[in-house]
Structure 1
Amino acid sequence: MVSQGLVGERIKMIRRQRGFSQAQLAHPELSDSYVSLIESGKRTPTPAVLELLAQKLDCSLTYLMNGVTAEQMEELELGLGFARMALDNGDIAEARRRYAELLEDSNLAGLASMREDAQYGYALAAEACGDLLEAIAVLKVLYEQSTEGRTAARRVAIAIALCRCYREYGDLQTAVKVGEEALGIASSSPAWDDDLVELGSTLLSVYIVRADFLCARQFSKELLAAADALGTPRSIVAASWNAAVAAHEVGFDEEATSLLERALALHSENGEPRNLARLRSAHAKLLLRVAPGEVDTARNLAVRALRELKESSAGTSAIARCHLTIARAELLLDHPAEALEHALMAREIAIAGTNRTVIADAHLVLGQAYWLLRRDEEALAALGEATRSLELLPSTQATAEIWQTAAEVLGRLGGHEASTAAYHQALACVGL
Structure 2
Amino acid sequence: MSQVDARWAQLLGTVDPVVLGARVRSARLAQGLNQADLTGDAYSVGYISRIESGTRRPTLAALTVISERLGTSVGELVAGASEQQLDEIRLGFSYAELALENGEAVDAEHQARQTLARAEGASVPDLTTRGRFVVARALEAMGQLDDAIMELESLFADIDGLPALRCGIALSRCYREAGDLNLAIEVGERIRPVIAEGGLERSDEAVQLAMTVALAYIERGDLHRAARICTEAIAMAEEVASPTARSAAYWNASIVYSERGETQAALALATRALGLLGEGQDARNLARLRLELGRLQLALDPPDAEQALVQLERANEELRSTSASRAEIAQAQVVLAHALIVDGRPEQALEVVVAARDATPGQASLGAAEAATAHGEALAELGRTDEAIGVCREAAALLTALPGADRWVAQAWCELAELFDLLGETAAAHAAFKSAASASGLRLRGGDRRTSRVRQDVS
Higher relative contact order (CA 8 A, sep 6+): 1
Measured after TM superposition, the shift of residue 289 of structure 1 is: 0.9
Distance 1:220 1:182 in 2: 18
1:91 paired to 2:104: yes
CA contact (8 A) 1:299 1:326 kept: yes
1:170 to 162, 179, 192: 179
Describe how 1:71-150 pairs up with structure 2 within 5 A.
Answer: 71-105=84-118, 108=121, 110-143=123-156, 145-147=157-159, 150=160
1:363 paired to 2:372: yes
Distance 2:383 2:126 in 1: 58
> Residues 128 and 382 (structure 1 numbering): CA distance in 2 closer, same or farther, change over 3 Å?
same
| 1:329-378 superposed Cα distances (whole Å, 9 cap, x missing partner) | 111122221111111111122338x6822112111111211222233333
| 1:75-125 superposed Cα distances (whole Å, 9 cap, x missing partner) | 322211211121222222221221132244486462322122111111111
1:347 paired to 2:357: yes
2:189 to 168, 172, 180: 180
In the alignment, which residue of structure 1 is the partner of 2:53? 40
1:12 paired to 2:25: yes
Larger radius of gyration: 2
Measured after TM superposition, the shift of residue 309 of structure 1 is: 1.3
Paired amino acid for 2:247: V
Distance 1:209 1:293 in 2: 24
Distance 1:48 1:259 in 2: 58
In the alignment, which residue of structure 2 is the partner of 1:155? 164
Structure 2: gaps spanning 5 or more residues: 1-13, 443-459
TM-score using structure 2 length? 0.87
CA contact (8 A) 2:364 2:399 kept: no
CA contact (8 A) 2:109 2:135 kept: yes
1:30 paired to 2:43: yes
Distance 1:56 1:229 in 2: 55
Distance 2:190 2:407 in 1: 24
Distance 1:419 1:103 in 2: 53
Measured after TM superposition, the shift of residue 254 of structure 1 is: 2.3
Distance 2:144 2:292 in 1: 22
Secondary structure of 1:270 counterpart: coil
> Residues 71 and 219 (structure 1 numbering): CA distance in 2 closer, same or farther, change over 3 Å?
closer
CA contact (8 A) 1:72 1:107 kept: no
Secondary structure of 1:45 counterpart: coil
In the alignment, which residue of structure 2 is the partner of 1:422? 432
Corresponding pairs, count: 427
Paired amino acid for 2:391: A
1:372 paired to 2:375: no
In the alignment, which residue of structure 1 is the partner of 2:404? 394
Measured after TM superposition, the shift of residue 252 of structure 1 is: 2.2
Distance 2:369 2:115 in 1: 35
Paired amino acid for 1:307: E
> Which deviates further from its counterpart, 103-112 or 260-269?
103-112
Measured after TM superposition, the shift of residue 269 of structure 1 is: 2.1
In the alignment, which residue of structure 1 is the partner of 2:9? none
Distance 1:355 1:381 in 2: 17
> Which deviates further from its counterpart, 49-58 or 176-185?
176-185
Distance 2:117 2:34 in 1: 36
Paired amino acid for 2:440: V
| 1:9-45 superposed Cα distances (whole Å, 9 cap, x missing partner) | 1111211222322122011221111111111111122
Distance 2:296 2:338 in 1: 12
Structure 1: gaps spanning 5 or more residues: none
CA contact (8 A) 1:102 1:108 kept: no
In the alignment, which residue of structure 1 is the partner of 2:70? 57
CA contact (8 A) 1:183 1:200 kept: no
In the alignment, which residue of structure 1 is the partner of 2:231? 221
Paired amino acid for 2:212: T
1:286 paired to 2:296: yes
In the alignment, which residue of structure 2 is the partner of 1:384? 393
RMSD in angstroms over aligned alpha carbons? 2.4
Secondary structure of 1:44 counterpart: coil
Paired amino acid for 2:421: G
Paired amino acid for 1:175: A
In the alignment, which residue of structure 2 is the partner of 1:203? 213
Secondary structure of 2:278 counterpart: helix
